[in-house]
């Protein structure tokens, strides 16, 4: 019987894609895939300590984990990346908080601040911190691994693989290009871990901050001059959009901190019952989502999940808890900024339970408190234009400038034809998913793109 993990990720003869077009794509899931692929390749003898070396393409969390795991077990490994340094997405980001377990809420281990919190250690250490600091931890670990296993681990930055690997007997011949230097080397297997692709954060001539850009969303007044009142438009229904909604409305980087403050302050709310109902709904949705293939399949699953979250939010506010009122007021910025989150269907996209729950909770509170409508479902941001300036795909230049947005009716099944005005906003966040990377190495379509991975390595 073929190994199930390798079979689902195989994209060519002994070539395995562990990071593109796979879901979930969290950093932790990428690390688990990186370790699993090496262990299974070793078990089957596709890579070994004698004559079957490993090539890993991409020096992010997935690729570095795979390369370090192989080198630590005595397999000669070559790690290449097109960037100058590893972990480039996280390295320059000082405004994203990375917690390895908070989005497993409401499972018991969700408060753990390290990964792994049980079982075997992983090559890359990870404790909750801002992205730039996490990248620093990883850099130290990778450097130490290279020093300890220098004979087995080669790292080549600024290096690409411009052609599809060629099979020669049991080995793969791969062309590596570093600057003007070209060479061909043979490997027992190739692991592709260069990430999911590039973000869709641009509409026409307007570009918003990318997810891994350093932004000022958590600073007082969002980092805008004191005389400018923030008016924020967020387009998207996935975790990026929901996370930015939370950061903008509360000024807090950690969703875990927000929820713990609520739970500790409003102790007359039956949080345990709420969590149990949400955990049940999330489990059912996850099982159904794995067997879907498109938005049409997902719509009913996600709508049902959204309805459960909304019902739990309504249940919480029906208690009329003064403690909850106090906690919500203390959690939100004062004054509460003007925010509009636009989502293309009647539900959010596939997102972590804690993000979904907190966004719906805040939106419901704002509606009950002063009739503010933070959420607009069934629409998509179609156009963005500067009011007194010309956008030139420069997020820094556009930040704080007035923009007019155009919305179009949309759903999981169709899109409208006529536009409506979205109003004037001086902060516009676009979170429309990712574009796959280039295909110079051939097809990267994995057999099972939607997966359920273990929380810790077994």
- Lookup: tokens for 39: 């262990």
Q: Encoding tokens for residue 364?
A: 């419901």
Q: Does 6 have pLDDT greater than 60?
A: yes
Domain that holds residue 410: 200-434
* Domain contains 442: no
Both structure tokens of 10:
């195989």
Task: Give bridge partners of residue 428 from the DSSP assignment.
Answer: 233
Evaluate if residue 269 carries a pLDDT over 90: yes
**391 neighbors 384 (Cβ within 8 angstroms):** yes
pTM of the predicted model as reported, rounded to 2 decimal places: 0.96
Does 21 lie in the same domain as 105?
yes
Domain end call among 142, 160, 192: 192
pLDDT for the residue 148:
97
Tell me the Ramachandran region of residue 368: left when phi exceeds 0, alpha when psi lies from -120 to 50, beta otherwise.
alpha
- Check whether residue 304 and residue 161 sit in a common domain: no
Whether the pLDDT of residue 136 is over 90: the answer is yes
Q: Does 445 reside within a domain?
A: no
φ and ψ at residue 26, rounded to 5 degrees: -65, 165
In a domain, 402, yes or no: yes
Residue 187's nearest CA partner among 176, 179, 198 is 176
439 in any annotated domain: no
Cα 245 to Cα 233: distance, rounded to the nearest angstrom? 9
Q: Count of residues for the chain?
A: 458
Nearest residue to 237 via CA among 98, 343, 324: 343
Residues 277 and 171 in one domain: no
Looking at residue 38, its pLDDT comes to 98
Structural tokens at position 149: 């296993």
Query: Is the same domain home to 139 and 187?
Result: yes
Domain boundary among 143, 163, 192: 192
C-alpha closest to that of 127 among 59, 35, 214, 28: 28
Radius of gyration (C-alpha) of the chain in whole angstroms: 23
Pair 124, 232 in one domain: no
What's the pLDDT score for residue 443?
Answer: 56
pLDDT at 334: 92
The mean per-residue pLDDT over the stretch 194-204 comes to 91
Q: Specify the number of domains making up the chain.
A: 2
CA distance 381 to 383: 6
User: Using 50, 70 and 90 to split pLDDT, how confident is the model at 149?
Assistant: very high
Same domain, 402 and 313: yes
Half-sphere exposure of 317 (CA within 13 A, CB side): 16
- 145 and 215 in a single domain? The answer is no
CA–chain centroid gap for 94, Å, is 16
Asked if the model's pLDDT at residue 412 lies above 60, the reply is: yes
- Residue 9's contacts (CB-CB under 8 Å, 6 or more residues apart) are 16, 17, 18, 22, 33, 37, 446, 447
State the Cα–Cα distance between residues 181 and 442, nearest whole angstrom: 22
- Asked, for residue 395, whether it belongs to a domain, the answer is yes
Which of the listed residues 139, 172, 192 is the one where a domain comes to its end? 192
**Residue 98 falls inside a structural domain:** yes
According to DSSP, the β-strands at 338-343 and 375-377 are parallel
User: Residue 397 forms beta bridges with which residues?
Assistant: none
Q: What is the pLDDT of residues 376-403, one digit of tens each?
A: 999 999 999 999 999 999 999 999 999 9
Residue 343 token pair? 């989502």
Q: Is residue 350 located within the same domain as residue 289?
A: yes
Residue 120 belongs to some domain of the structure: yes
pLDDT level of residue 441 (50, 70, 90 thresholds): low
Looking up residue 175, the CATH number of its domain turns out to be: 3.50.50.60
pLDDT over 90 at 427, yes or no: yes
Same domain, 294 and 159: no
pLDDT band at 196 (very low <50, low <70, confident <90, very high): confident
pLDDT, tens digit (0-9, with 9 covering 90-100), for 237-261: 999 999 999 999 999 999 999 999 9
Q: Which stretches within 232-294 are classed as H helix? A: 239-250, 255-265, 271-289
pLDDT in tens, 68-119: 999 999 999 999 999 999 999 999 999 999 999 999 999 999 999 999 998 8
444 belongs to a structural domain: no
Q: Quick one: pLDDT band at residue 1, thresholds 50, 70, 90?
A: low
Q: Are residues 207 and 173 in the same domain?
A: no
Q: What is the mean pLDDT of the chain?
A: 95
State the pLDDT at residue 21: 86
Find out whether the peptide bond into 116 is cis, omega within 30 degrees of 0. yes
Residue range 358-386: average pLDDT? 96
Asked if residue 206 and residue 186 are part of one domain, the reply reads no
Pick from 145, 125, 120: nearest CA to 136: 125
Residues 213, 361: one domain?
yes
Angle between helix axes 322-331 and 353-370 (nearest 10 degrees) is 100
In terms of Cβ atoms closer than 10 Å to its own Cβ (0-12, 13-18, 19+), residue 72 is middle
Which H helix or E strand runs over 416? strand 415-425
Q: What percent of the chain has pLDDT over 90?
A: 92
Rounded distance between C-alpha atoms, residue 267 and residue 264, angstroms: 6
């Amino acid at each position: 019987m073929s190994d199930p993990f390798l079979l689902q990720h195989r994209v060519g003869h002994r070539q395995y894609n562990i990071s593109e077009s796979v879901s979930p794509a969290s950093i932790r899931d990428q690390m688990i895939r990186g370790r699993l692929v090496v262990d299974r390749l070793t078990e089957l003898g596709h890579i070994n300590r004698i004559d079957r070396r490993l090539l890993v393409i991409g020096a992010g969390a997935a690729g570095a984990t795979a390369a370090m795991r192989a080198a630590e077990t005595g397999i000669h490994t070559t790690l290449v990346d097109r960037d100058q340094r590893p972990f480039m997405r996280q390295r320059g980001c000082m405004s994203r908080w990375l917690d390895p377990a908070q989005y497993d809420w409401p499972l018991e281990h969700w408060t753990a601040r390290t990964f792994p919190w049980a079982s075997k250690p992983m090559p890359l250490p990870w404790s909750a911190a801002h992205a730039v600091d996490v990248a620093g931890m990883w850099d130290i670990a990778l450097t130490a691994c290279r020093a300890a296993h220098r004979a087995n681990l080669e790292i080549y930055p600024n290096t690409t693989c411009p052609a599809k690997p060629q099979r020669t007997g049991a080995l793969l011949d791969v062309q590596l290009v570093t600057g003007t230097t070209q060479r061909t080397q043979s490997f027992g297997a190739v692991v592709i871990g260069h990430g999911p692709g590039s973000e869709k954060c641009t509409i026409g001539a307007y570009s918003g901050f990318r997810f891994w850009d350093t932004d000022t969303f958590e600073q007082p007044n969002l980092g805008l001059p004191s005389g400018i009142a923030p008016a924020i438009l967020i387009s998207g229904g996935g975790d990026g959009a929901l996370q930015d909604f939370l950061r903008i409305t509360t000024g807090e980087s950690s969703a875990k901190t927000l929820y713990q403050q609520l739970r500790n302050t409003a102790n007359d709310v039956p949080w345990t019952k709420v969590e149990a109902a949400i955990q049940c709904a999330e489990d059912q949705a996850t099982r159904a989502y794995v067997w879907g293939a498109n938005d049409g399949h997902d719509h009913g699953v996600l709508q049902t999940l959204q309805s459960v979250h909304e019902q739990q939010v309504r249940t919480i506010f029906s208690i009329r808890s003064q403690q909850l009122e106090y906690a919500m007021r203390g959690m939100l910025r004062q004054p509460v900024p003007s925010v509009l989150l636009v989502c293309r269907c009647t539900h959010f996209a596939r997102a972590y339970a804690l993000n979904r729950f907190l966004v719906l909770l805040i939106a419901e509170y704002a509606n009950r408190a002063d009739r503010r409508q933070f959420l607009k479902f069934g629409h998509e941001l179609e156009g963005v234009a500067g009011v007194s300036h010309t956008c030139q795909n420069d997020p820094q230049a556009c930040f704080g400038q007035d923009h007019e947005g155009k919305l179009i009716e949309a759903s999981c099944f169709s899109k409208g034809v006529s536009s409506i005005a979205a109003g004037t906003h001086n902060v516009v966040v676009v979170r429309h998913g990712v574009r796959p990377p280039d295909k110079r190495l051939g097809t990267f379509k994995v057999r099972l793109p939607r997966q359920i991975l273990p929380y810790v390595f077994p």
